[in-house]
Amino acid sequence: MDLPSHRRPYLTQVVITGIAAAIFVLATDAAGYRGMANALGMFLPPIVVAILLNRSWDRRAFMIMALFGVLLVTSMIIGVNFTSYR
């Protein structure tokens, strides 16, 4: 199944944000540090990805909100299943 060329950038943004969230959750768990860096890791990746990979400001704003959802879901799944959450 090949996606149309105009849909690929959105899927790429979702994948990049999901991978960044997973890496960050695992890194903060390994370091045992939770603080301001944790907040920056939660908010910066979706903003940076959306600003860099979208052209119009309305699309950037929409993708920031959508990518926050991706980040939250990925962080919950990785955090509960693969870290010392218990």
Q: Which residues of 32-61 are buried (b: 16+ CB within 10 A; e: fewer)?
A: eeeeeeeeebbeebbeebbeebbeeeeebe
pLDDT of residue 4: 61
Domain residue extents for the chain: 11-81
Q: 20-46: per-residue pLDDT in tens?
A: 999 988 888 888 877 787 778 788 989
Q: 45-76: per-residue pLDDT in tens?
A: 899 999 998 888 999 999 999 999 999 999 88
